[in-house]
Structure 1
Amino acid sequence: MKHILSLSFIFCLFTLKADAQQLSNPNATALTKALYQNLHQLSKNYTLFGHQDDLAYGVGWKYIPNKSDIKDVVNDYPAVYGWDISKIEHNAANNIDGVPFNKMRKYIIDGYQRGAVITISWHFDNPLTGGSSWDTTRNTVKSILPGGEKHALFKTWLDRAATFLHSLKGSKGEAIPVLFRPFHELTGNWFWWGSHATTPEQMKQIWQFTADYLRKTKKLNQLILVYNTNDFKTEADFLRSYPGDDYVDVLSFDTYQFDLAKKQDFINEIKRQSAIVTKLAAEKKKLAAFAETGFENLPDPDWWTGTLWPAIKDYRLSYVLVWRNAGYMPSTQKMHYYAPHKGQASEKDFVKFYQNKKILFEKNLSSKKIYQTK
């Protein structure tokens, strides 16, 4: 009987180990491994709520310590903080949205210290032409591959990003884990790395080079790599530039609502995309995420419980993140925000969304101790 129990115990351990989420980087830090596995466990019952640039600014304010439009509404912070390191490639003091990198570093550390999750994207400029991310000159990706005319420049850009990422340290000097989302929305056609400006094979190669360079050469073992798409129709469409399971940890997509009259169409589209992404994530033992969404200026007062929640509730999405609250933008002469602020039309509905026990914000997430092994 003892012998049978021992074999049974070993089999159970083996099964648990086989089911555990494993990062694509075998040299990942212990904190990063713990975060990844804990997010996997949480995703069975919860979806974390995130907001881009939450601590830096909001509607009518900038750089006020501890302030947040989300916190003003529900007395709690998001569970996921999104940031973008565009302009780090030029050694600039501020990112694409004017956020000083020294402030961003502090905001990232503050969020991590409170037990939240950090995700970083990168709207890098066009290395071939010197234009912006939206300069869709063909063959830009080809130019930064090994042997390309801008390969050395691209490595310099990666070096500068690595310096910033290495500077993100906790109170004990530990490297802060980051869900890193490069080349985002790569199935779209609006960035120089988009599907119309490069080939799937080139995209796979530059992703693999970038991952290897950051992890192996720059020793950034705190990165969780997020593969991100937009505007895909099928599994094959979603995966056409997929660099392989050894280079990806999270499967994600971005989709926004643009038309109030097409509410049900948006819900149906999110369900369709969520079904594809969560199915693939389960098969590949990866996390799934809704990495960017929102409805600019939130004209629907019941958007949170009437649109977003019905769209995602049936799918195992580790987090959903809405875009930034820039407020009034002189360049467009209009307001630009995706999360509620005090007095905004969807404020009351957002409180109901906050009370949903399946959605985690920072207070409830902090009790989960996601950076500790269980």
Structure 2
Amino acid sequence: MAEQIVNLDDTRYQVQPKLIHPHPSWEAGGLMEYLCSMYGKKMLTGQQIGVTMTPPELDLLYEYTGKYPAVAGFDFMDYSPSRAERGRVCRDTDLAVDWWREGGIVTFCWHWNAPKDLIDLPPNAAWNSGFYTKATTFDVAKGMSDPASEEYHLLLRDIDVIAGQLKVLQKAKVPVLWRPLHEASGGWFWWGAKGPQPCIALWKLMYERMTKHHGLDNLIWVWNGQHGDWYPGDEYVDIIGEDIYSPECDYSSQKERFHTAEKYSTARKIIALSENGVIPDPDEMLKDGVPWAWNCTWYGSFVFREEGGRRFYSNQYTELAQLIKTYQHPLTVTREELPVWKEYMKSSSDVSKL
């Protein structure tokens, strides 16, 4: 079986490990170099964890496959001030530090609970659904058009809170595949409810605030807007992500979505399957020449079912035989196959030039 997904001479998948941050951390630069070196040759396996104090997904995958995914997905959701003030607590930052120290790669999204104006009418518009457009009247367009507004200052407040968590990761020398404002073009999240321009402005504000004001240099910026009209520009994007929830047990490569994502930018950008329900079949990816850099299966019922107080792998989306095939396939990379990061980065001749 072929050990690579595309011809090495195909320049479409030869991405230079140059981050948009002018002076990225040693770890972020090294991770980007690794991702670029693997792009077009391997897909990193990945799994999002549930937003609970004891998420079961990673250990359950190990129980059934004997391997851990290369990438683990975390969420800053319960650090959102409008959730924290209602008693929510979160330990995803600590879990992410542990994951990196155990050899894995960290990606974070942020289901950003609206800073104010939560409708709070259960069951469909409860406060804990405050990242959805249906559960808040918060006006991102007003905030981004008026820096003197309460909305703008609350946006800054919330960004600063999450920057504080990212600083914990920075201090621990954890590089982060950072994927904020995801799926904006769908409109179901408040940051996309007013169209592309306010969302693009918010993306740029977040980048400037986190990079220049807070000095965060450990972030690799993964844009996941899912439509070209929402693209903020190459100078604000390191990697492009697509979220795809195909029908149950549809193991196709999703080549149409991959080729759509290629068109968001005229520059060469790594393209990842930043969320998925079903994991594409590696053989289908090889056949179609679709080199997703990594996948990140969503949590909960996409992975397990509960019965009699116990958790079992769920065959509903990706059947167990298919999962095992994927984790054992020569195209894919699990955590056990990742480099020892300190050694990899010390041996890399280009990291210091980034």
Tell whether the structures are fold-level matches, with TM greater than 0.5: yes
- Equivalent residue of 2:184, what SS? coil
Match of 1:241 among 219, 223, 230: 230
CA distance in 1, matches of 2:62, 2:262: 30
Tell me how far apart the structure 1 counterparts of residues 283 and 248 of structure 2 sit (CA, whole Å): 17
Cα distance in 2 for partners of 1:205, 1:252 equals 19
| Structure 2 contact 48–74 (Cα < 8 Å) conserved | yes
Relative to 1, partners in 2 of residues 1:199 and 1:241: Cα closer, same or farther, differing over 3 Å? Answer: same
* Partners of 2:45 and 2:327 within 8 A in 1: no
Larger CA deviation: 145-154 vs 182-191: 145-154
The question of whether the paired residues in 2 share the 8 Å contact of 1:139 and 1:198 is answered with no
Partner deviation per Cα, 1:153-205 (whole Å, 9 max, x = no partner): 11111111111111125xxx5431111111100111211122xx213222211
Counterpart amino acid of residue 123 in structure 1: H
Distance in structure 1 (CA, Å) of the matches to 2:188 and 2:179: 17
* Residues 142, 202 of structure 1: 8 Å contact kept: yes
Whether contact under 8 Å (1:114, 1:366) holds in the other structure is no
Q: Equivalent residue for 2:303?
A: 338
- 2:282–2:329 Cα contact (<8 Å) kept: no
For residues 371 and 91 of structure 1, the distance between their equivalents in structure 2, rounded to whole angstroms, comes to: 39
Matching residue's letter, 1:324: Y
Kept in 1, the 8 Å contact 2:242–2:272? The answer is yes
Alignment partner, residue 191 of structure 1: 189
Deviations 1:245-264 (A, max 9, x none): 1111111111102456xx4x
Task: Report the Cα offset of residue 63 of structure 1.
Answer: 5.6
| Aligned ranges 1:14-93 → 2 under 5 Å | 20-53=16-49, 62=54, 68-90=59-81
1:211, 1:247 within 8 Å by CA — same for their partners in 2? yes
Q: Distance in 1 between matches of 2:48 and 2:86?
A: 13
CA gap 1:86/1:68 in 2 versus in 1, 3 angstroms: same
Match runs of 1:83-122 below 5 Å: 83-90=74-81, 100-102=89-91, 104-122=92-110
Q: What residue identity is the alignment partner of 1:189?
A: G
**Which of 243, 267, 282 pairs up with 2:252?**
267
Is 1:349 aligned to 2:327, yes or no? no
Which of 193, 198, 211 is residue 207 of structure 2 equivalent to? 211
Larger Rg: 1
> Does structure 1 residue 251 correspond to structure 2 residue 240?
yes
State the alpha-carbon separation in 1 of the partners of residues 22 and 186 from structure 2: 31
Aligned-pair CA distance for 1:286: 2.0
Corresponding letter in the other structure for 1:149: E
Identity of aligned residues (%): 23
Amino acid in structure 2 at the alignment position of 1:108: A
SS of aligned partner of 2:131: coil
- Of residues 318, 325, 330, the one that matches 2:293 is 318
Distance in 2 (CA, whole Å) between partners of 1:94 and 1:112 is 29
Quote the offset at 1:150 in angstroms.
0.8
Which one-letter code corresponds to 1:338 in the other structure?
A: V
Task: Output one character per residue of 1:249-303: Cα deviation in whole Å (capped at 9) or x when no partner.
Answer: 111111102456xx4xx837x210112224656x4132211100114xxxxxxxx
Task: Tell me which amino acid in the other structure corresponds to 1:192.
Answer: W
Distance apart, 1:31 and its partner CA = 1.3
Q: Which runs of 5+ in 1 are unaligned?
A: 1-17, 231-237, 296-303, 326-335
1:359 to 320, 329, 332: 332
TM-aligned CA deviation for residue 316 of structure 1: 2.3
> C-alpha displacement at 1:151, in angstroms?
0.8
Q: Distance in 2 between matches of 1:22 and 1:227?
A: 16
2:156 match:
155
Cα 1:366–1:150 change in 2 (3 A) is: same
Structure 2 equivalent of residue 3 of structure 1? none
2: CA distance, partners of 1:95 / 1:246: 37
Is this contact kept in 2: 1:52–1:321, CA < 8 A?
A: yes
Cα distance change on mapping 1:95 and 1:174 into 2, 3 Å? farther
Q: Is the 8 A contact 1:54 1:68 kept in 2?
A: no
Q: Structure 1 length normalisation: TM-score?
A: 0.74
Structure 2 spans left out of the alignment, 5+ residues: 1-13, 120-129, 306-310, 350-354
TM-score between both structures, scaled by the size of structure 2: 0.78
- AA aligned to 2:184 is L
- The separation in 2 between residues aligned to 1:174 and 1:259, in whole angstroms, is 39
Q: Secondary structure of 2:30's match?
A: helix
One-letter code aligned to 1:144: G
Query: Contact (CA 8 Å) 2:231, 2:264: kept in 1 or not?
Result: no
Aligned position for 1:133: 131
Aligned partners of 2:167 and 2:323: how far apart in 1? 36
Amino acid at match of 1:191: F
Aligned in 2, Cα 1:83/1:19: closer, same or farther, shift over 3 Å? closer
Q: Compute the displacement of 1:91 (Å).
A: 7.5
In 2, distance between residues paired with 1:342 and 1:94? 35
2:304–2:312 Cα contact (<8 Å) kept = no
